[in-house]
Structure 1
Amino acid sequence: MTKKYQIIQSESRVNRKTSVQLLHADVWNGISFVVLLMGLILSQAGNAFAASQEETFIAARDAYRSGKIDRFNEYAQQLDGYVLQPYIAYWQLQSHMAEATPAEIRNFTTRYEDSPLADRLRKDWLVRLGKAQQWNFFLSEFPALLNADKDVTCYAYQARLSLGNKVVLQEAKPIWFDGSDLPTSCSPVFDALMAEGLLTSEDVWIRIRLALEAGNVGVAKAVIQYLPAGQAPDARTLDRIVDNPHQFLEKNTLNYKSRTDRELAMFAIYRIARTQLVQAQTDWEKIREHFSAAEQAYVWGKMAFYAARVHDPVALNWFKQVDNASLNDSQLGWKVRAALRAQNWPEVLESIQAMSVVEQRNAVWRYWKARALSAQGKVVQANAIYAPLSKETHFYGQLANEELGVVVGNPTESYKASEDELKAIKNVPGLRRALVLYQLDLRTDANREWAWAIRNFDDKQLLAAAELARRNEWYDRAINTADKTVQLHDFSLRYLAPHRDVMQVYANQWGLDEAWVYGLIRQESRFVRLAQSSVGASGMMQIMPATAKWIANRLGIKDFRGHLVNELDTNISFGTYYLKYVMDSLDGSPVLATAGYNAGPSRAKRWRDNKAMEGAIYAESIPFNETRDYVKKVMSNAMYYSNRFGQKLITLKQRMGTIPGKSNGSDPEQGEGD
């Protein structure tokens, strides 16, 4: 064979081989294309089917809510096996709850025990059994209820009383001491307490006081009926005192030997003290000699409480009229705050030590107790409190760390859930339901499902669930879930920072600290873009409608429409502008601006003292519980975000700064958000 022939033959074999390879490649490419096409078709069909099921579910829900049960049942038949099947089954049972059998109820609660619907249905069933006084069924089902409210609890007491168990009355008595409007199921229990002589007239007066202090005059009127004959005041008298307490004292001749008239007079005095401290003191001085030492202590305590809440210096003098043992924890708390503003550290320490053991365990009082000890030179005792407190990751834990000489950053060690852990978490039925409900914008049910599913999770499961929520852009659940860990933590999940591309633009434009802005949004909305508050505030930065219009006008935006405030860019633009405006109007103080953003600039200004004050003391003495908690959390959040963003670390005390006295700053212009 010649060399030329060998070459030709070799080329021929190569060409044949190449042709076969190309043929095989074409075949496989064709098969791959078909497989890919089929996959896309099946995927689209699956998505369409899922979308169809979601639409059917919403239609079923709407039909149930509107009472169109026949139409609801038609939709229900199409949803067999759907991930939200428990809700269909729940509505089906609710539609004929009056005729439901114990077997049906137990079948549902057993089958769907991994859903909050099981406990909700069990509670509904127990209320029905209680109303019908079917105590045998009630007692067999009640132990399985996980979340018993006062209504069901009182039915449980009734059930046990039906068996002749009168020992239960001692267990039930604490429910009586509540100033709120209790459910009607509690009335038979209270009647039994009265019949057995376990409710004294003193107990009745205590509850009347609790109701009046809480502003629940209607409850007080209802409780009056339990007083002995001759002691019950005319219910209309309570209304007259509410309308004009000073006039009541001026125009009525009271018999101070009567418990009833003394109670009415005391009610009138502290009603006046809510708004007119000087008038209250004047009226009280005229009549206080007619009252016992205990009654005088009660009135002085109430007056001092109201004085402390408006930062009147007279508060401490009035508190001195009362032995600490006669003050409740709430009053002692405000005595501490008044003493902090006066820099009276011995009074701070003494008042904290007078609190109940449970109250003293709260981080706020542990911190201020340590500060009071340190101020009096008892550094070793103070450090013994700071040391364990510094291991806690909240506002007071951070401050305690700094008192020990440590600037707090985010922990360097962070646990990250593995893909296997995430895969396992994705398959938890409750979380699957929660995510579908979230995608359907049924946020209340979604949040309930999520909370129920994670209630017994360990730290690793919590962090995997938090990461799952983050990947689905469900930021509030991610943060709240990561916040629950005890030993293992992931602070990047606790302090998420979505939308930084937008945030940095506006933070830089208005010269705001990005970490502080993120700290504020985390507290405002947990980054829920369509968040809506009970008072109408909208979006991530929770802007009120009137404030949004005011900002639009200030920015020269014409034809502004209210719904635009929910758009991400607009919400951040408006929110950061207003935050900058508030800060500029309040001496450039982030603490004052944070308080002003939440409660209004004029209030933040009014809460200052005549002299300069430590920022932490200003925050501690804010009268509104919500705003006081808000300021602490925002400033604490800012520390963690600052570390996450790689900013230069400064102490929380430095962030809190010193709040200038009223005489040192100009009055801020009052914006629409005030």
Structure 2
Amino acid sequence: MKFHARLTPLALGLALSLSAFAQNGDMAFLTARDAFRAGNLNKLEQAIGQLGNHELTPYAENYRLRMWMDKGDPGNLRDFLQRYEGSYVAEKLRADWIRWLGKRSAWNEVDAEFPRLLAPEPDVSCYSQQARLARDDRSVLAEAEKQWLTMLEPPEPCRPIFDALVASQKMSTDDVWARARRQVEANRPGWVRTTLNYLPDSQMPDNRQLDNALSSAMGYLIKQGTGNGSRAGRELAAFAIARVAANDPRTAADELERLKGKLHDSERQWAWSQIALQAAKKHAPEAVGWYNQAGKTPLSEDAAQWKVRAALRAQEWGVVRNTIEAMPAELAAKPEWIYWLGRALHAGGRTSEGNALFEKIAGQPNFYGNLADEELGHTVLPPPKAKAPTAEEQRVARDNPGIRRALAFFRNDMRTEAVKEWNWSLRGMDDRELLAAADLAKRNQIWDRAINTADRTKNEHDYTLRFLAPYGETVRPAAQNQSLDDAWVYGLMRQESRFITNAKSNVGASGLMQLMPATAKWVARKIGLRDFSHGRVNDTETNVLLGTTYMRLVMENLDNHPVLASAAYNAGPGRARKWRADRPLEGAIYAETIPFSETRDYVKKVMSNAVYYSAIFNGKPDSLKARLGTIGARTADVPKDSDLP
């Protein structure tokens, strides 16, 4: 009402009519969407007739064209793609059309359309590869060779490419077994049989024995051992040892010691690599020694990274250095391995070489960029703030068709579609355009898009957009009441929900602070919150009260250490305690060696976020190293709240 009071009658009438137009258009679009889902073409046509120039009209037209696709008349479809060329809706329609064409082996048409895709998905790329094979383009096979050990669960359209690769006799039996080993390591037992079907019939393992080796591994080893000593029998024994290692590396090591004389070097060394990998993930002290027994067996990227992590916990800096230097170039170029290689060189007295590596990632606004800065004696501060978007830059952002479509999706609570459309619209934007789009998202209180969009800038930055701090009137007093560092609280919230109040994870966590139902109920009972029901968990004040209370309780139960508490918030206090070592451990090493990839990434980002929030809130540099500190040794002490969820 206060807003309306400031408008002239003419302006007020215009605003209301525009609002009514948007409402009517939204209803027509939702009707079109529902008609498409129900397969009701007549109702869809009626809804399209009511849409006019609504932002989402292209999506309704896309629905109609997808329903018309089976008619085989591409004229209207090509017209649509031409009108909306470069848009997300055109990209998705063209991909669907290529899938439709590929299923019908219309390879000339696939060849014509595929180059117009801007970001093809793997299955669509494989239809293009099939089309190229149909015209005898053998370069497809070279591409498939590169994917042989990495595309372990190929989409259906990719399988003919691998079939052709094997039929070309470019793959030996060793290559087939190597692919199957990678699938065993990745816990994809269902795909192992598919791969082993590429073996000659005379070398195929018995299906029942294969199933037993993968599903009843210990029983298989006791009963079958290495079978009759054939290649298949030896490989199945190695598979079974790998499967046992996933639960109990030490038992697997005992079995391998018992059978190692019956295995060839290749099988024995690969089995040791699998025992070492699982031991590293469980922080077993034998991991580095078992990796040594793996010799020169080729390691997957996952196994190589865990070899470094095991060596970090054991302070075996030579192993850290040698393993990173042996990584594929693309993997070794990741910030974490540049940083740890720099640290390993420092440990070996090669300070200038280590500093040269730190220089490569210094200044990057991430965990390892922050640590590299501090190794070089630099402080971590946000860069100078870019000038605010001009009125013209704001207008261009508002008028961007893709952003308008994204805002319409947000308005209709279609967040998944909105985020895809928004992100697509950012393609090719320069820093000024990105900042204007981020500012537009902020003004619409779409906090996550404001943050993610501002995160993309290369030279001009606004860290008050990258590190937004909404709901300050609720969050900061709550943090103070719990004696928590508000920079850490905001760092955690930024990672948990990007400040989406109704965010819900795939495991049921809700709200700004992503509380699990059982956790919210436990905390509410702990603090005597009356009349609490899970329906209140998305209420901002309730969510922040429960979340900050839980953060304090977790801190009190975990040495008041924010790294442990961050890990506990994501994965549970029991796991955070379990992941400590038998001796004090550098905080950065603890974070890097967290077994869960989601939690490992989460803790790093929360801690780096906190550094930037602190610098913004307090106007002075903060230290990530100081925040990480040292993680105390594992103890047998009973936690203060033994039932803490």
Which residue matches 1:388? Answer: 360
For 1:414, give the aligned amino acid.
A
Q: Which of residues 129, 152, 166 in structure 1 aligns to 2:101?
A: 129
* 1:601–1:668 contact (8 Å) kept in structure 2: no
Deviations 1:568-604 (A, max 9, x none): 1111111111111111111110000000000110000
Percent of paired sites with the same residue: 43
- Residue 374 of structure 2 aligns to a residue whose secondary structure is helix
* 1:367–1:400 contact (8 Å) kept in structure 2: yes
Q: What's the offset of the Cα at 1:115?
A: 2.4
- Residue 286 of structure 1 aligns to a residue whose secondary structure is helix
User: Residues 587 and 648 (structure 1 numbering): CA distance in 2 closer, same or farther, change over 3 Å?
Assistant: farther
Q: Which of residues 496, 500, 504 in structure 2 aligns to 1:528?
A: 500
Q: What's the offset of the Cα at 1:667?
A: 3.5
Q: What's the offset of the Cα at 1:43?
A: 2.6
Q: Distance in 2 between matches of 1:206 and 1:291?
A: 16
Alignment of 1:535-550 (within 5 A): 535-550=507-522
Task: State yes or no: 1:644 paired with 2:581.
Answer: no
Q: Which of residues 468, 480, 490 in structure 1 aligns to 2:462?
A: 490
Which residue matches 1:667? Answer: 639
Q: What's the offset of the Cα at 1:483?
A: 0.5
User: Residues 575 and 169 (structure 1 numbering): CA distance in 2 closer, same or farther, change over 3 Å?
Assistant: same
- Residue 25 of structure 2 aligns to a residue whose secondary structure is helix
Deviations 1:57-102 (A, max 9, x none): 2222222222232222212101121111101111111122211422
For 1:544, give the aligned amino acid.
M
Q: What's the offset of the Cα at 1:669?
A: 3.5
Q: Distance in 2 between matches of 1:652 and 1:158?
A: 50
Give the TM-score taking structure 2 as reference length. Answer: 0.95
For 2:306, give the aligned amino acid.
W
- Residue 247 of structure 2 aligns to a residue whose secondary structure is coil
* 1:256–1:290 contact (8 Å) kept in structure 2: no
Q: What's the offset of the Cα at 1:518?
A: 0.3
User: Residues 444 and 253 (structure 1 numbering): CA distance in 2 closer, same or farther, change over 3 Å?
Assistant: closer
Which residue matches 2:380? Answer: 408
Q: Which of residues 63, 76, 87 in structure 2 aligns to 1:91?
A: 63
User: Residues 351 and 324 (structure 1 numbering): CA distance in 2 closer, same or farther, change over 3 Å?
Assistant: farther
Which residue matches 2:411? Answer: 439
* Further displaced range: 77-86 or 660-669: 660-669
Q: What's the offset of the Cα at 1:548?
A: 1.4
User: Residues 40 and 100 (structure 1 numbering): CA distance in 2 closer, same or farther, change over 3 Å?
Assistant: farther
- Residue 274 of structure 1 aligns to a residue whose secondary structure is helix
* Further displaced range: 91-100 or 496-505: 91-100
* Further displaced range: 180-189 or 526-535: 180-189
Q: Distance in 2 between matches of 1:178 and 1:412?
A: 42
Q: What's the offset of the Cα at 1:324?
A: 5.1
Which residue matches 1:169? Answer: 141
For 1:549, give the aligned amino acid.
K
Q: Distance in 1 between matches of 2:230 and 2:75?
A: 58
Which residue matches 1:275? Answer: 247
* 1:135–1:159 contact (8 Å) kept in structure 2: yes
Deviations 1:402-458 (A, max 9, x none): 112222122234342222211111111111111111111111111111111111101
User: Which 5+ residue runs of structure 1 have no aligned equivalent?
Assistant: 1-32
User: Residues 483 and 136 (structure 1 numbering): CA distance in 2 closer, same or farther, change over 3 Å?
Assistant: same
Which residue matches 2:566? Answer: 594
Deviations 1:313-338 (A, max 9, x none): 11111122133564343223222212
* 2:58–2:89 contact (8 Å) kept in structure 1: yes
Task: State yes or no: 1:50 paired with 2:59.
Answer: no
Deviations 1:498-537 (A, max 9, x none): 0000001210111110000000011111111111111111
Give the TM-score taking structure 1 as reference length. Answer: 0.91
Q: What's the offset of the Cα at 1:625?
A: 0.9
Alignment of 1:206-605 (within 5 A): 206-252=178-224, 254-255=226-227, 257-323=229-295, 326-605=298-577
For 1:510, give the aligned amino acid.
Q
User: Residues 303 and 50 (structure 1 numbering): CA distance in 2 closer, same or farther, change over 3 Å?
Assistant: same
Q: Which of residues 182, 190, 203 in structure 1 aligns to 2:154?
A: 182
- Residue 476 of structure 1 aligns to a residue whose secondary structure is helix
* 2:88–2:421 contact (8 Å) kept in structure 1: yes
For 2:511, give the aligned amino acid.
G
Q: Distance in 2 between matches of 1:577 and 1:108?
A: 54
* 1:297–1:326 contact (8 Å) kept in structure 2: no
Q: Distance in 2 between matches of 1:519 and 1:136?
A: 52
Which residue matches 1:10? Answer: none
- Residue 250 of structure 2 aligns to a residue whose secondary structure is helix
Task: State yes or no: 1:68 paired with 2:40.
Answer: yes
* 1:546–1:672 contact (8 Å) kept in structure 2: no
* Further displaced range: 463-472 or 664-673: 664-673
Q: Distance in 2 between matches of 1:275 and 1:194?
A: 34
Q: What's the offset of the Cα at 1:621?
A: 0.9
Which residue matches 1:9? Answer: none
* 1:179–1:212 contact (8 Å) kept in structure 2: no
Alignment of 1:27-46 (within 5 A): 36-46=8-18
Q: Which has the larger radius of gyration?
A: 1
- Residue 618 of structure 2 aligns to a residue whose secondary structure is coil
User: Residues 384 and 43 (structure 1 numbering): CA distance in 2 closer, same or farther, change over 3 Å?
Assistant: closer
Deviations 1:386-415 (A, max 9, x none): 223212221111111111222212223434
User: Which 5+ residue runs of structure 2 have no aligned equivalent?
Assistant: none
Q: Distance in 1 between matches of 2:260 and 2:640?
A: 42
User: Residues 369 and 256 (structure 1 numbering): CA distance in 2 closer, same or farther, change over 3 Å?
Assistant: farther
Q: Distance in 1 between matches of 2:626 and 2:434?
A: 34
For 2:436, give the aligned amino acid.
A
* 2:358–2:373 contact (8 Å) kept in structure 1: yes
Which residue matches 1:193? Answer: 165
Q: Distance in 2 between matches of 1:572 and 1:503?
A: 6
Q: Distance in 2 between matches of 1:456 and 1:337?
A: 37
